[in-house]
Amino acid sequence: MHAAATSTPERQAFYDRLAPNNLAPLWEVLGALITREPQSPCIPAFWRYGDVRPQLMEAGRLITAREAERRVLILENPGMPGKSCITHTLYAGLQLILPGEVAPAHRHSQSALRFVIEGNGAFTAVDGERTLMRPGDFIITPSWTWHDHGNETEEPMVWLDGLDIPLVGFLDASFAEPGNAEQQMETKPVGDSLARYGMGLMPVDWKPATPTSPVFNYPYDRSREALETLKRADDWDPCHGLKLRYVNPATGGSPMPTIQPFMQLLPAGFRTESYRSTDATIYVAVEGSGTSRIGDASFHWQPHDVFVVPSWCPVRHEAGPESVLFSFSDRPVQQALGLWREDRQARAA
Ligand code: GTQ
Protein backbone atom coordinates (compact mmCIF):
# COMPACT_ATOMS: atom_id res chain seq x y z
CA MET A 1 0.00 0.00 0.00
CA HIS A 2 2.76 2.36 0.99
CA ALA A 3 6.33 2.30 -0.37
CA ALA A 4 9.06 2.22 2.29
CA ALA A 5 10.41 5.67 3.16
CA THR A 6 14.03 6.49 2.27
CA SER A 7 16.41 5.80 5.11
CA THR A 8 18.75 8.68 6.03
CA PRO A 9 21.39 8.67 8.78
CA GLU A 10 19.41 11.35 10.58
CA ARG A 11 16.17 9.33 10.46
CA GLN A 12 17.93 6.13 11.51
CA ALA A 13 19.50 7.94 14.47
CA PHE A 14 16.02 9.13 15.43
CA TYR A 15 14.59 5.58 15.24
CA ASP A 16 17.44 4.38 17.46
CA ARG A 17 16.47 7.00 20.04
CA LEU A 18 12.78 5.99 19.83
CA ALA A 19 13.34 2.29 20.54
CA PRO A 20 14.43 2.65 24.21
CA ASN A 21 11.15 4.50 24.82
CA ASN A 22 9.14 1.63 23.28
CA LEU A 23 8.24 3.72 20.26
CA ALA A 24 8.54 2.90 16.56
CA PRO A 25 7.83 4.81 13.33
CA LEU A 26 4.74 3.47 11.55
CA TRP A 27 5.89 4.67 8.13
CA GLU A 28 8.72 2.12 8.16
CA VAL A 29 6.30 -0.81 8.50
CA LEU A 30 2.92 0.38 7.20
CA GLY A 31 3.15 -1.51 3.89
CA ALA A 32 3.94 -4.76 5.68
CA LEU A 33 1.21 -4.27 8.30
CA ILE A 34 -1.67 -3.34 6.02
CA THR A 35 -1.24 -5.35 2.84
CA ARG A 36 -3.29 -4.94 -0.33
CA GLU A 37 -4.17 -8.63 -0.12
CA PRO A 38 -3.66 -11.40 2.47
CA GLN A 39 0.06 -12.22 2.84
CA SER A 40 0.12 -15.49 4.70
CA PRO A 41 3.10 -17.51 5.91
CA CYS A 42 0.84 -20.52 5.23
CA ILE A 43 1.71 -22.30 1.97
CA PRO A 44 -0.04 -25.03 -0.04
CA ALA A 45 0.83 -28.36 1.59
CA PHE A 46 0.05 -32.04 1.20
CA TRP A 47 0.32 -35.16 3.38
CA ARG A 48 -0.02 -38.56 1.71
CA TYR A 49 -1.62 -40.88 4.26
CA GLY A 50 0.36 -43.82 2.91
CA ASP A 51 3.56 -41.98 3.94
CA VAL A 52 2.31 -40.71 7.31
CA ARG A 53 0.69 -43.93 8.52
CA PRO A 54 3.92 -45.94 9.03
CA GLN A 55 5.35 -43.11 11.16
CA LEU A 56 2.13 -42.85 13.13
CA MET A 57 2.35 -46.60 13.82
CA GLU A 58 6.00 -46.13 14.81
CA ALA A 59 4.85 -43.53 17.34
CA GLY A 60 2.49 -46.26 18.58
CA ARG A 61 5.49 -48.48 19.36
CA LEU A 62 7.49 -45.70 21.03
CA ILE A 63 4.95 -44.14 23.40
CA THR A 64 1.60 -45.11 24.89
CA ALA A 65 -1.50 -42.92 24.56
CA ARG A 66 -1.50 -42.64 28.37
CA GLU A 67 2.07 -41.36 28.59
CA ALA A 68 1.64 -39.02 25.61
CA GLU A 69 -1.79 -37.90 26.94
CA ARG A 70 -2.63 -37.50 23.24
CA ARG A 71 -0.54 -39.52 20.79
CA VAL A 72 -0.66 -37.21 17.82
CA LEU A 73 1.61 -36.36 14.91
CA ILE A 74 1.04 -32.68 14.21
CA LEU A 75 0.60 -31.71 10.56
CA GLU A 76 2.83 -28.65 10.41
CA ASN A 77 2.52 -26.24 7.54
CA PRO A 78 5.99 -26.14 5.92
CA GLY A 79 5.69 -22.33 5.72
CA MET A 80 5.57 -22.19 9.54
CA PRO A 81 7.88 -24.95 10.81
CA GLY A 82 7.89 -25.45 14.58
CA LYS A 83 4.68 -23.45 15.07
CA SER A 84 2.31 -26.42 15.46
CA CYS A 85 -0.14 -25.03 12.94
CA ILE A 86 -1.51 -26.22 9.62
CA THR A 87 -2.87 -22.77 8.73
CA HIS A 88 -2.17 -19.47 10.47
CA THR A 89 -5.23 -19.92 12.71
CA LEU A 90 -5.80 -23.68 12.91
CA TYR A 91 -3.99 -26.76 14.17
CA ALA A 92 -4.34 -30.29 12.78
CA GLY A 93 -2.84 -33.63 13.70
CA LEU A 94 -3.35 -37.36 13.26
CA GLN A 95 -4.20 -39.14 16.50
CA LEU A 96 -3.68 -42.86 17.09
CA ILE A 97 -5.30 -45.02 19.77
CA LEU A 98 -4.33 -48.67 19.80
CA PRO A 99 -6.56 -51.51 21.04
CA GLY A 100 -6.91 -51.41 24.83
CA GLU A 101 -5.58 -47.88 25.16
CA VAL A 102 -7.01 -44.84 26.92
CA ALA A 103 -6.30 -41.15 26.27
CA PRO A 104 -7.08 -39.68 29.70
CA ALA A 105 -9.78 -37.11 30.44
CA HIS A 106 -9.00 -33.40 30.27
CA ARG A 107 -10.68 -30.20 29.16
CA HIS A 108 -9.52 -26.99 27.54
CA SER A 109 -10.88 -23.78 26.09
CA GLN A 110 -9.82 -24.82 22.59
CA SER A 111 -12.55 -26.46 20.48
CA ALA A 112 -11.72 -29.69 18.64
CA LEU A 113 -13.15 -31.56 15.72
CA ARG A 114 -12.33 -35.16 14.88
CA PHE A 115 -12.62 -36.49 11.35
CA VAL A 116 -12.36 -40.27 11.48
CA ILE A 117 -9.82 -41.85 9.12
CA GLU A 118 -9.58 -45.53 10.03
CA GLY A 119 -10.74 -48.00 12.65
CA ASN A 120 -14.14 -49.13 13.67
CA GLY A 121 -15.90 -48.28 16.89
CA ALA A 122 -13.35 -46.86 19.32
CA PHE A 123 -15.03 -44.16 21.36
CA THR A 124 -14.62 -40.57 22.36
CA ALA A 125 -16.54 -39.39 25.42
CA VAL A 126 -17.78 -35.82 25.83
CA ASP A 127 -19.38 -34.70 29.10
CA GLY A 128 -20.53 -38.19 30.09
CA GLU A 129 -21.63 -39.43 26.67
CA ARG A 130 -19.66 -41.82 24.52
CA THR A 131 -19.86 -41.88 20.77
CA LEU A 132 -18.46 -44.64 18.60
CA MET A 133 -16.15 -43.47 15.85
CA ARG A 134 -16.53 -44.74 12.29
CA PRO A 135 -14.64 -43.64 9.16
CA GLY A 136 -16.01 -40.38 7.74
CA ASP A 137 -17.74 -39.32 10.97
CA PHE A 138 -17.32 -35.66 11.95
CA ILE A 139 -17.22 -35.37 15.75
CA ILE A 140 -17.02 -32.29 17.99
CA THR A 141 -15.36 -31.74 21.34
CA PRO A 142 -16.83 -28.38 22.43
CA SER A 143 -14.75 -25.84 24.32
CA TRP A 144 -14.30 -26.63 28.04
CA THR A 145 -16.01 -30.05 27.92
CA TRP A 146 -14.40 -33.08 29.58
CA HIS A 147 -13.21 -35.58 27.04
CA ASP A 148 -11.32 -38.86 26.94
CA HIS A 149 -10.83 -41.36 24.16
CA GLY A 150 -10.64 -45.16 24.38
CA ASN A 151 -10.28 -48.12 22.09
CA GLU A 152 -12.03 -51.30 23.20
CA THR A 153 -11.86 -52.78 19.68
CA GLU A 154 -9.22 -55.01 18.07
CA GLU A 155 -8.09 -52.44 15.50
CA PRO A 156 -6.03 -49.26 15.64
CA MET A 157 -8.13 -46.10 15.50
CA VAL A 158 -6.87 -43.04 13.63
CA TRP A 159 -8.55 -39.69 13.22
CA LEU A 160 -7.65 -36.18 12.14
CA ASP A 161 -7.84 -33.61 14.93
CA GLY A 162 -8.66 -30.02 13.96
CA LEU A 163 -8.37 -27.45 16.74
CA ASP A 164 -8.42 -23.66 17.05
CA ILE A 165 -5.17 -23.75 19.07
CA PRO A 166 -3.34 -20.95 17.17
CA LEU A 167 -6.43 -18.71 17.23
CA VAL A 168 -7.02 -19.19 20.97
CA GLY A 169 -3.30 -18.67 21.58
CA PHE A 170 -3.35 -15.40 19.65
CA LEU A 171 -6.20 -14.22 21.89
CA ASP A 172 -4.32 -15.37 25.03
CA ALA A 173 -7.44 -17.26 26.11
CA SER A 174 -6.03 -20.75 26.74
CA PHE A 175 -7.16 -22.64 29.86
CA ALA A 176 -6.82 -26.37 30.50
CA GLU A 177 -7.42 -28.84 33.33
CA PRO A 178 -6.66 -32.55 33.79
CA GLY A 179 -9.55 -34.77 34.92
CA ASN A 180 -9.47 -36.33 38.44
CA ALA A 181 -10.23 -39.70 36.91
CA GLU A 182 -8.62 -41.15 33.81
CA GLN A 183 -12.02 -41.86 32.27
CA GLN A 184 -15.20 -39.96 32.99
CA MET A 185 -18.39 -41.62 34.19
CA GLU A 186 -20.83 -42.56 31.48
CA THR A 187 -24.01 -40.69 32.38
CA LYS A 188 -25.90 -40.91 29.06
CA PRO A 189 -26.53 -43.75 26.61
CA VAL A 190 -24.64 -43.89 23.30
CA GLY A 191 -26.60 -41.91 20.67
CA ASP A 192 -28.34 -39.65 23.22
CA SER A 193 -27.36 -36.30 21.64
CA LEU A 194 -28.18 -37.39 18.11
CA ALA A 195 -31.64 -38.60 19.20
CA ARG A 196 -32.29 -35.52 21.31
CA TYR A 197 -31.11 -32.82 18.90
CA GLY A 198 -30.13 -34.34 15.56
CA MET A 199 -33.37 -35.78 14.17
CA GLY A 200 -35.14 -32.56 13.22
CA LEU A 201 -36.60 -32.54 16.74
CA MET A 202 -35.64 -30.82 20.02
CA PRO A 203 -36.73 -31.30 23.63
CA VAL A 204 -39.68 -28.95 23.98
CA ASP A 205 -38.22 -26.42 26.44
CA TRP A 206 -34.55 -26.74 25.52
CA LYS A 207 -32.50 -23.59 24.92
CA PRO A 208 -28.87 -23.67 23.79
CA ALA A 209 -26.44 -22.68 26.55
CA THR A 210 -23.33 -22.50 24.35
CA PRO A 211 -22.60 -21.58 20.72
CA THR A 212 -21.54 -25.17 19.95
CA SER A 213 -23.89 -27.70 18.37
CA PRO A 214 -25.63 -30.04 20.86
CA VAL A 215 -25.07 -32.83 18.31
CA PHE A 216 -21.48 -34.00 18.66
CA ASN A 217 -21.32 -36.83 16.14
CA TYR A 218 -22.41 -36.27 12.54
CA PRO A 219 -22.16 -39.85 11.22
CA TYR A 220 -20.77 -40.41 7.74
CA ASP A 221 -23.62 -42.63 6.57
CA ARG A 222 -26.01 -39.68 6.98
CA SER A 223 -23.74 -37.09 5.33
CA ARG A 224 -23.03 -39.52 2.48
CA GLU A 225 -26.72 -40.25 2.03
CA ALA A 226 -27.43 -36.51 1.73
CA LEU A 227 -24.82 -36.19 -1.04
CA GLU A 228 -26.09 -39.35 -2.75
CA THR A 229 -29.67 -38.07 -2.87
CA LEU A 230 -28.78 -34.50 -3.84
CA LYS A 231 -26.49 -35.51 -6.69
CA ARG A 232 -29.61 -36.67 -8.55
CA ALA A 233 -30.77 -33.02 -8.69
CA ASP A 234 -27.83 -32.38 -10.99
CA ASP A 235 -27.37 -28.71 -10.02
CA TRP A 236 -23.60 -28.52 -9.76
CA ASP A 237 -21.91 -25.38 -8.52
CA PRO A 238 -19.09 -24.55 -10.96
CA CYS A 239 -16.68 -23.77 -8.09
CA HIS A 240 -17.70 -26.46 -5.59
CA GLY A 241 -19.54 -29.32 -7.29
CA LEU A 242 -22.06 -30.25 -4.59
CA LYS A 243 -20.89 -28.72 -1.32
CA LEU A 244 -22.75 -28.85 1.98
CA ARG A 245 -21.87 -27.20 5.27
CA TYR A 246 -22.45 -28.98 8.57
CA VAL A 247 -24.82 -27.00 10.82
CA ASN A 248 -25.73 -26.52 14.45
CA PRO A 249 -29.42 -27.57 14.37
CA ALA A 250 -30.21 -25.10 17.15
CA THR A 251 -29.04 -22.06 15.16
CA GLY A 252 -28.49 -23.01 11.52
CA GLY A 253 -24.97 -21.62 11.95
CA SER A 254 -21.67 -23.44 12.13
CA PRO A 255 -21.56 -26.41 14.54
CA MET A 256 -18.54 -24.82 16.22
CA PRO A 257 -17.99 -21.11 16.88
CA THR A 258 -14.47 -21.05 15.46
CA ILE A 259 -14.50 -23.78 12.79
CA GLN A 260 -16.88 -24.54 9.91
CA PRO A 261 -16.69 -28.03 8.41
CA PHE A 262 -17.95 -28.98 4.95
CA MET A 263 -18.56 -32.13 2.91
CA GLN A 264 -18.57 -32.03 -0.88
CA LEU A 265 -19.09 -34.37 -3.79
CA LEU A 266 -17.41 -34.03 -7.18
CA PRO A 267 -18.84 -36.22 -9.93
CA ALA A 268 -16.46 -38.30 -12.06
CA GLY A 269 -14.33 -36.06 -14.27
CA PHE A 270 -15.69 -32.80 -12.74
CA ARG A 271 -13.30 -29.82 -12.86
CA THR A 272 -14.12 -26.94 -10.54
CA GLU A 273 -13.55 -23.37 -11.65
CA SER A 274 -10.81 -21.37 -10.01
CA TYR A 275 -11.94 -20.09 -6.61
CA ARG A 276 -10.43 -18.37 -3.62
CA SER A 277 -11.60 -17.17 -0.23
CA THR A 278 -9.97 -15.61 2.82
CA ASP A 279 -10.48 -18.71 5.00
CA ALA A 280 -7.48 -21.01 4.60
CA THR A 281 -8.96 -24.49 4.31
CA ILE A 282 -7.83 -27.97 5.31
CA TYR A 283 -9.12 -30.80 3.09
CA VAL A 284 -9.29 -34.53 3.71
CA ALA A 285 -10.01 -36.82 0.75
CA VAL A 286 -12.70 -39.31 1.73
CA GLU A 287 -13.59 -41.21 -1.44
CA GLY A 288 -12.34 -41.34 -5.03
CA SER A 289 -9.20 -39.59 -6.22
CA GLY A 290 -8.28 -36.42 -8.02
CA THR A 291 -5.91 -33.54 -8.44
CA SER A 292 -6.08 -30.13 -6.80
CA ARG A 293 -4.17 -27.20 -8.18
CA ILE A 294 -3.47 -24.72 -5.38
CA GLY A 295 -1.59 -21.61 -6.49
CA ASP A 296 1.45 -23.06 -8.27
CA ALA A 297 1.27 -26.42 -6.48
CA SER A 298 -0.51 -29.51 -7.71
CA PHE A 299 -1.42 -32.46 -5.48
CA HIS A 300 -2.84 -35.81 -6.52
CA TRP A 301 -4.99 -37.12 -3.66
CA GLN A 302 -6.51 -40.41 -2.61
CA PRO A 303 -8.63 -41.32 0.41
CA HIS A 304 -7.15 -40.14 3.77
CA ASP A 305 -4.70 -37.69 2.18
CA VAL A 306 -4.73 -34.17 3.66
CA PHE A 307 -4.01 -30.88 1.88
CA VAL A 308 -4.17 -27.17 2.65
CA VAL A 309 -5.39 -24.22 0.62
CA PRO A 310 -4.00 -20.95 2.07
CA SER A 311 -6.05 -17.77 2.41
CA TRP A 312 -6.80 -16.09 -0.92
CA CYS A 313 -4.87 -18.73 -2.89
CA PRO A 314 -6.71 -19.88 -6.04
CA VAL A 315 -7.79 -23.53 -6.00
CA ARG A 316 -9.20 -25.89 -8.61
CA HIS A 317 -10.15 -29.50 -8.03
CA GLU A 318 -10.40 -32.18 -10.69
CA ALA A 319 -11.99 -35.48 -9.77
CA GLY A 320 -10.99 -38.77 -11.37
CA PRO A 321 -13.84 -41.07 -10.31
CA GLU A 322 -16.71 -39.65 -8.24
CA SER A 323 -15.02 -38.17 -5.18
CA VAL A 324 -15.89 -36.91 -1.72
CA LEU A 325 -13.90 -34.25 0.17
CA PHE A 326 -14.24 -33.16 3.80
CA SER A 327 -12.86 -29.73 4.67
CA PHE A 328 -12.81 -27.15 7.45
CA SER A 329 -11.77 -23.55 8.02
CA ASP A 330 -12.05 -20.56 10.37
CA ARG A 331 -14.85 -19.06 8.24
CA PRO A 332 -17.29 -18.46 11.16
CA VAL A 333 -14.72 -16.27 12.90
CA GLN A 334 -14.11 -14.21 9.78
CA GLN A 335 -17.84 -13.92 9.12
CA ALA A 336 -18.59 -12.85 12.70
CA LEU A 337 -16.02 -10.09 12.27
CA GLY A 338 -17.25 -9.06 8.81
CA LEU A 339 -13.90 -10.03 7.24
CA TRP A 340 -14.73 -13.04 5.09
CA ARG A 341 -14.41 -12.61 1.30
CA GLU A 342 -14.60 -14.97 -1.64
CA ASP A 343 -13.72 -14.58 -5.31
CA ARG A 344 -15.47 -16.92 -7.69
CA GLN A 345 -13.39 -15.82 -10.69
CA ALA A 346 -9.97 -16.21 -9.13
CA ARG A 347 -7.01 -15.74 -11.46
CA ALA A 348 -6.60 -19.20 -13.00
CA ALA A 349 -4.86 -21.59 -10.63
O1 GTQ B 1 -7.78 -35.12 21.80
O2 GTQ B 1 -8.00 -33.65 23.38
O3 GTQ B 1 -4.55 -33.19 18.62
O4 GTQ B 1 -6.17 -31.84 23.64
C5 GTQ B 1 -4.36 -31.77 20.49
C6 GTQ B 1 -4.78 -31.43 21.77
C7 GTQ B 1 -5.93 -33.57 20.46
C8 GTQ B 1 -7.46 -34.05 22.35
C9 GTQ B 1 -4.94 -32.83 19.86
C10 GTQ B 1 -5.77 -32.17 22.39
C11 GTQ B 1 -6.36 -33.24 21.73
The answer, yes or no, to whether any atom of ligand 1 lies below 6 A from the CB of 294, is: no
What 99-102 contacts at long range (C-beta under 8 Å, 24+ apart), as own/partner pairs, is: 99/151, 99/152, 99/153, 99/154, 99/155, 99/156, 100/151, 100/152, 101/64, 101/65, 101/66, 101/150, 101/151, 102/65, 102/66, 102/148, 102/149, 102/150, 102/182, 102/183
- Per the domain annotation, does 323 fall within a domain? yes
Q: 186 to each of 13, 17, 123, how far by Cα in Å?
A: 67, 63, 12
User: What local confidence, expressed as pLDDT, does residue 6 receive?
Assistant: 87
Please tell me the residue having the least CA distance from ligand 1 atom 8: 70
pLDDT (tens digit per residue) in 136-154: 999 999 999 999 999 999 9
- Dist CA 244 CA 36 (whole Å): 31
The answer, yes or no, to whether any atom of ligand 1 lies below 6 A from the CB of 72, is: yes
Q: Report the residue among 69, 86, 95 best suited for mutation to probe ligand 1: largest number of ligand atoms under 8 A from its CB.
A: 95
The answer, yes or no, to whether any atom of ligand 1 lies below 6 A from the CB of 56, is: no
What total number of domains does the chain contain? 1
The answer, yes or no, to whether any atom of ligand 1 lies below 6 A from the CB of 85, is: no
pLDDT (tens digit per residue) in 158-173: 999 999 999 999 999 9
- Per the domain annotation, does 81 fall within a domain? yes
pLDDT at residue 115 tops 60: yes
- Per the domain annotation, does 78 fall within a domain? yes
- Per the domain annotation, does 35 fall within a domain? no
- Per the domain annotation, does 316 fall within a domain? yes
- Per the domain annotation, does 30 fall within a domain? no
The answer, yes or no, to whether any atom of ligand 1 lies below 6 A from the CB of 282, is: no
The answer, yes or no, to whether any atom of ligand 1 lies below 6 A from the CB of 163, is: yes
The answer, yes or no, to whether any atom of ligand 1 lies below 6 A from the CB of 93, is: yes
pLDDT (tens digit per residue) in 53-100: 999 999 999 999 999 999 999 999 999 999 999 999 999 999 999 999
pLDDT at residue 217 tops 80: yes
Please tell me the residue having the least CA distance from ligand 1 atom 11: 70
- Per the domain annotation, does 247 fall within a domain? yes
Q: How many CB atoms lie within 10 A of CB 185?
A: 9
Residue 119's Cα: distance from chain center in Å? Answer: 20
Domain interval for residue 53: 42-343
CATH number, position 270: 2.60.120.10
The answer to whether residues 111 and 259 touch, using CB atoms and an 8 Å cutoff, is yes
- Per the domain annotation, does 313 fall within a domain? yes
Residue-by-residue DSSP string for 25-45: -GGGTHHHHS-SS---S---E
Name the pLDDT band for 346 (thresholds 50, 70, 90): confident
Name the pLDDT band for 348 (thresholds 50, 70, 90): low
What's the CA-to-centroid distance between 148 and ligand 1, angstroms?
A: 10
pLDDT at residue 295 tops 80: yes
User: What local confidence, expressed as pLDDT, does residue 15 receive?
Assistant: 97
What's the CA-to-centroid distance between 2 and ligand 1, angstroms?
A: 42
pLDDT at residue 1 tops 60: no
User: What local confidence, expressed as pLDDT, does residue 162 receive?
Assistant: 98
User: What local confidence, expressed as pLDDT, does residue 3 receive?
Assistant: 67
